[in-house]
Amino acid sequence: MDIVTATAHASSTVMAVCPKAPAGAQVPTDTITGYVLWGVGILFVIGIVIAIGAIVAGRVFAMPHASKVGVISVVVVFLAAIGYLVLPSMLSALLGSGCI
């Protein structure tokens, strides 16, 4: 067996190793993921409510800076929501199946 064949065999053996979570780890992982998803969703809603409140308060009390900050806040929340939807799929595409 020459060195090239041995290296190819060793690298194919290493490529076959996939990490697995320990037994019983899936339920707590799903619970934590669910809490994070709900928490982020609630933060998006709170951000929109506060931004709309800033816009309304800025118009009612004649504070143009508050209205501008409210509009910017709405845009930032929507950009964050788009990033929240796009970035996980980008990471999944980059990392692949997780096998080393």
Over the stretch 3-57, which tens digit does the pLDDT of each residue have? 666 665 655 555 667 777 789 998 999 999 999 999 999 999 999 999 999 999 9
Q: Residue 84 has which token pair?
A: 């929240």
Distance from chain centroid for Cα 85: 7
Task: Please enumerate in sequence order all residues whose Cβ is within 8 A of that of 80, keeping only pairs 6 or more positions apart, or say none.
Answer: 44, 47
Rounded Cα distance, 63 and 53, in Å = 12
| Helix 26-60 / helix 64-95 crossing angle, nearest 10 deg | 160
Its pTM stands at 0.70
